Amino acid sequence: MYRILTLNNISVKGLSRLPRESYEISSESSQPDAVLLRSFKMHEMEIPETVKAIGRAGAGVNNIPVDKMSERGVPVFNAPGANANAVKELVLAGLLMASRNIFPAMQFAQTLEGDDATISTAVESGKKNYVGREIHSKTLGVIGLGAIGLRVANAASALGMKVVGYDPLISVENAWRLSRNIEQAVSLDHLFSQCDAVTVHVPLIEPTKGLVSKERIESMNDGAVIVNLARGGICDDEAVLAALDSGKLSGYVIDFPNGALLNHPKVISFPHLGASTGEAEENCAIMVADQIKEFLEDGIVRNSVNFPEVVAPRGSGDRVTLAHKNVPNMVGQISTALANAGLNIAELVNKSRGDYAYTIIDLDGSVDPAALEPLSSIEGILAVRHLTGK
Ligand SMILES: NC(=O)C1=CN([C@@H]2O[C@H](COP(=O)(O)OP(=O)(O)OC[C@H]3O[C@@H](n4cnc5c(N)ncnc54)[C@H](O)[C@@H]3O)[C@@H](O)[C@H]2O)C=CC1
Ligand SMILES: O=C(O)CCC(=O)C(=O)O
């Protein structure tokens, strides 16, 4: 029986991929084999030694101590692209809300009272206070052309915006999928200097902290809009608030409000709502539950953010998986240890990613667990698992 600890509500469609005959799923499991979560902040949590894998039903992993898990040989999985359409739609909604003064205009409409003729008169005289700007023909900068940025860029272009993109690490696949109308910015400064609106779709990591800075905002066109449904911290909020007050910016759309932003009339705050659609919640939960199941049952690593992708069909015998440091002679030492124990390797797959590597070994027949003990004492081996033949 595998034990799964859930730290947030995970869509039942996803949880149903883990059959109850072999999976015990609980929000209180004390010795879990794996953890499933969404935005729960794990940094301060004592993560039990029994945990072999962590599955983030979403994209961002800044709420998970990924480096610590790597050192323990624990893969962290996410669900790339599974909520991207949901975020794209809310980005477009936010951009339109900011450009057309939709929220204050709705608030005004809700205050109207009286008979239909009185309301109609008030509507026609009041609407002049909410005149907006069209997004058509305006220039949108999209920073980060991953699953979300790619979709936002293509959709905004289809709506008639001029779109400029920036992503020095864009994947070949996404470069192919990007509309040919999207222009490439040679630098972030180049991007900001030509934009009426900028939307950020990068992870919150050291190089992206404060990426939307005072100087870059100042270089934008007057009355510009910033959209941040990525993470708080990517924009310099103090600089954004000053620019809203001076009129340099006309709106700031944020999915991560804080005390300073909440009460500003030009800030459109959402309660971390980007991925909150039934479709996205299901997609993420299904993807990540499948990945956790494959890992627990067969040692397969797919869509991990800290270990390489290693996919190998099961042989008939036992399987050994090893998470280890990416250093010379690791495979040599592993093979020697197995040979010393009289074990024959039927298949071996080894892949590396940065400082870490992962090896799957299928052995001939079944194996006494004691014979595998020497593997754990090889320097640089982080985690060893023995999966009995199917
Ligand atoms: N508000 C919400 O509910 C949601 C927010 N997010 C946030 O959006 C972020 C992006 O999500 P996805 O597009 O799915 O991730 P992704 O991994 O598909 O794309 C991220 C892109 O950013 C690029 N990038 C990384 N560093 C960069 C830099 N310094 N400058 C420019 N580009 C850079 C990468 O090359 C990659 O193409 C997530 O990390 C998460 O923080 C994601 C989903 C939901
Ligand atoms: O699960 C959620 O609602 C948060 C989604 C998110 O922020 C992400 O996927 O990075």
Interval 344-387: pLDDT, tens: 999 999 999 999 999 999 999 899 999 999 999 999 999 999 99
Check if 83 has its Cβ closer than 6 Å to any atom of ligand 2.
yes
Encode pLDDT of 242-269 as tens digits: 999 999 999 999 999 999 999 899 999 9
Mean pLDDT computed over 169-192: 98
Q: Are 296 and 277 in contact (CB under 8 A)?
A: no
Task: Decide: 145 in ligand 1 pocket, CB within 6 A.
Answer: yes
- Residue 38 confidence (pLDDT): 98
Residue 208 has pLDDT above 80, yes or no: yes
3-class SS of residue 104: helix
Distance (angstroms) between ligand 2 centre and the Cα of 362 equals: 36
Domain boundaries, the chain: 1-82+277-306, 84-269, 307-390
**207: DSSP letter:** G
Residue 79 CA to ligand 2 centre (angstroms): 10
- CATH number 3.40.718.10 given to 1-82+277-306: no
Q: Residue 390's pLDDT band (boundaries 50, 70, 90)?
A: confident
Give 315's pLDDT tier (boundaries 50, 70, 90): confident
Mean pLDDT of the chain: 97
Does residue 228 register a pLDDT over 80? yes
Q: What is the mean pLDDT of residues 107-135?
A: 98
Q: How far is the CA of 141 from the centre of ligand 1 (A)?
A: 15
Is this model's pTM higher than 0.90 or not? yes
Residue nearest to atom 40 of ligand 1 (CA): 60
* CA pair distance 100, 155, nearest whole angstrom: 18
Ligand in nearest proximity to the CA of 169:
1
Ligand 2, residue 59: give the atom nearest the CA.
9
148 C-beta closer than 6 A to ligand 2: no
Ligand 1 pocket mutation, candidates 151, 167, 202, criterion most atoms within 8 A of CB: 202
Is it true that domain 307-390 has CATH number 3.20.20.100?
Answer: no
Q: What percent of the chain has pLDDT over 90?
A: 98
- 145 C-alpha vs ligand 1 centroid, how far in Å? 8
142 CB within 6 A, ligand 2? no
Could you give the count of Cα atoms lying within 13 Å of 164 in the half-sphere of its Cβ? Answer: 19
Query: Do residues 18 and 4 lie in contact, with contact meaning Cβ atoms separated by under 8 Å?
Result: yes
CA distances from 331 to 84, 157, 310, 326 (A): 38, 49, 15, 10
Q: In CATH, which superfamily holds the domain spanning 84-269?
A: NAD(P)-binding Rossmann-like Domain (3.40.50.720)
* Equal fold, 1-82+277-306 vs 84-269: yes
